Structure 1
Amino acid sequence: MEGKEEDVHLGANKFTERQPLGTAAQDRDYKEPPPAPLFEASELSSWSFYRAGIAEFVATFLFLYVTILTVMGVKRSPNMCASVGIQGIAWAFGGMIFALVYCTAGISGGHINPAVTFGLLLARKLSLTRALFYIVMQCLGAICGAGVVKGFQKTPYEVLGGGANSVAPGYTKGDALGAEIVGTFVLVYTVFSATDAKRSARDSHVPILAPLPIGFAVFLVHLATIPITGTSINPARSLGAAIIYNRDQGWNDHWIFWVGPFIGAALAAIYHQVVIRAIPFKSNC
């Protein structure tokens, strides 16, 4: 028995360099990065700045193209069982975000969503200059993505609603606004957690896995809110579809798909920075 106890003791202390996650010993060498400046003129003369904007444009273009076609495919089927259904739509949105964040994270950060950009701006993770540029490029990409779908399938696009978001019958505008706020909170909070610089310094696998939880969050939110609003949680996605579809259905409640995601993103940024990370209360930031 004494020999066994000794073996257990040695096994428990074999890897002494390992520390419980989140301990002061493990984080003592971490330094909080300085907040991004509000305006950084040097960005405007940098090719990487414009390359990042182009990456956001292309990613949002592809996102709209694939997801709107998926929505149209479900709507043109005689019943849900004859198509991929709501689950398939949710997988299309979540899967595309997973793939596109993976592809563009090293270039632009892989935002692909004005609400994500807005949340990161509030947390001072990027400059106002870059944030505005990203949002413009995301909206243009969404418009072009929806436009290409309509160009390929004009009649089905108009008949099937063009993927435009609207409040479903039986739900109020307050229901829809609440769904968009909470859904975007889930997404942006996941983005903050998956890309946290402190976690990246502590756990080397976090940056590699970041696109997976972000895509999965999008998938889950779509499962919950497709019956309510068709799920936006992305103002560019709603704007692109509304402009190309250009019917009252796409414009009547369009404000919800900007106000809701921006409120949700702001709440997520405040919660992560103030409550989870307590950054405003740290004297060594």
Structure 2
Amino acid sequence: MKNSSHGQSEPAPLMDMKEIGQWSFFRAIIAEFLATLLFLYVTIATVIGHKKQETSCDGVGLLGIAWAFGGMIFVLVYCTANISGGHINPAVTFGMLVARKVTLVRAVAYMIAQCLGAICGAGLVKAIMEHPYNMLGGGANSVAPGYSKGSALGAEIIGTFILVLTVFSATDEANTAEKPFISALLPLPIGFAVFMVHLATIPITGTSINPARSFGPAVIYNHHKVWSDHWIFWIGPFLGALAAALVHQFVFKKAHVPRSP
């Protein structure tokens, strides 16, 4: 997940209209759209397939769902890291914007592409398995019975904090400069962070930690309960991403020490 198209050491400018005229900019947007589409298709199909099973021993189970989300992030970050940075998540993009790793223009374009990709991915699941999709909740996020909206919000903040802090740590320039092999392992800790957070929060919210992941199914499933809880899956991830960006910048970030010739 590269930091930006503007280099690793200098902060990205807030606005850079010149990049709109570059093919690399549009290539990155296409990558974010397709990656989010594929992410939603595989993960939501996994959720619906699990719920369609008649007994708890059938299908992949909650552990398999967590692996589907974490595994797809691993695969898609690997595929897109050198093209778009492999964000696949508006909260990650927002964190990168806060840390001046991307411009505002790129951040907004990424978020739009991610949300459109999520809608198309969820729509593709519905097109292929329409009846179970409609009957089994559409893979949409909402607060589970027995939990308050405050608890759900807290779970989304903490979960996204873990994910985005992992992203920043994995892409820390000082780490990759000292140990170049870390760059090759980049998708692994990010995918694993997604997997671990899902284990903790699937029972609470179904786990979002990604506003696009929640937005796509909400649009396609279009249920009142889903929309009434939907704000949690934007506010929570954005607050978690903001906290992670600040903690990394002021606490965890390593000072870059140039190598001696």
TM-score range, shorter chain: over 0.9
Aligned to 2:13: 37
Secondary structure (helix, strand or coil) at the match of 2:137 reads coil
Aligned to 2:57: 81
Question: Are 1:69 and 2:73 matched, yes or no?
Answer: no
Runs of 5+ in structure 2 lacking a partner?
1-6, 257-261
How much has 1:161 moved relative to structure 2? 0.6
Q: Distance in 2 between matches of 1:148 and 1:74?
A: 17
Cα gap change, 1:56 to 1:180, in 2 (>3 Å):
same
Question: Is the contact made by 2:172 and 2:253 (CA closer than 8 Å) also made in structure 1?
Answer: no
Secondary structure (helix, strand or coil) at the match of 2:28 reads helix
Q: Distance in 1 between matches of 2:201 and 2:55?
A: 20
| Higher Rg | 1
How much has 1:79 moved relative to structure 2? 2.3
Aligned to 1:166: 142
2:237 to 261, 268, 273: 261
Q: Distance in 1 between matches of 2:32 and 2:8?
A: 27
Deviations 1:176-208 (A, max 9, x none): 000000000000000000111111111111110
Q: Which amino acid aligns with 2:29?
A: G
Question: Are 1:112 and 2:101 matched, yes or no?
Answer: no
Aligned to 2:185: 209
Aligned to 2:176: 200
Q: Which amino acid aligns with 1:269?
A: A
Q: Distance in 1 between matches of 2:17 and 2:238?
A: 26
How much has 1:42 moved relative to structure 2? 1.1
Secondary structure (helix, strand or coil) at the match of 2:229 reads coil
How much has 1:32 moved relative to structure 2? 7.1
Q: Distance in 1 between matches of 2:222 and 2:141?
A: 12
Number of residue-to-residue matches in the alignment = 251
How much has 1:131 moved relative to structure 2? 0.3
How much has 1:34 moved relative to structure 2? 1.1
Runs of 5+ in structure 1 lacking a partner?
1-30
1:53 to 21, 26, 29: 29
How much has 1:278 moved relative to structure 2? 7.2
2:251 to 272, 275, 278: 275
How much has 1:145 moved relative to structure 2? 0.3
1:237 to 213, 216, 225: 213
When normalised by structure 2's length, the TM-score is: 0.94
How much has 1:277 moved relative to structure 2? 2.1
Q: Which amino acid aligns with 2:148?
A: T
Question: Is the contact made by 2:169 and 2:253 (CA closer than 8 Å) also made in structure 1?
Answer: no
The percentage of counterpart residues that share the same residue type is 66
Aligned to 1:10: none
| Two-structure CA RMSD over aligned residues (Å) | 1.5
Q: Distance in 2 between matches of 1:80 and 1:94?
A: 22
Cα gap change, 1:274 to 1:32, in 2 (>3 Å):
farther
Question: Are 1:151 and 2:127 matched, yes or no?
Answer: yes
Q: Which amino acid aligns with 2:39?
A: F
Question: Are 1:126 and 2:102 matched, yes or no?
Answer: yes
Q: Distance in 2 between matches of 1:198 and 1:129?
A: 27
How much has 1:153 moved relative to structure 2? 1.6
Secondary structure (helix, strand or coil) at the match of 2:138 reads coil
Q: Distance in 2 between matches of 1:71 and 1:253?
A: 19
Q: Which amino acid aligns with 1:97?
A: I
Q: Distance in 1 between matches of 2:67 and 2:139?
A: 16
Aligned to 1:221: 197
Q: Distance in 2 between matches of 1:64 and 1:79?
A: 25
Question: Is the contact made by 2:218 and 2:227 (CA closer than 8 Å) also made in structure 1?
Answer: yes
Aligned to 2:157: 181
Deviations 1:134-186 (A, max 9, x none): 00000000000001111112111100110000000000001100000000000
Aligned to 1:136: 112
Aligned to 1:26: none
Question: Is the contact made by 2:141 and 2:205 (CA closer than 8 Å) also made in structure 1?
Answer: yes
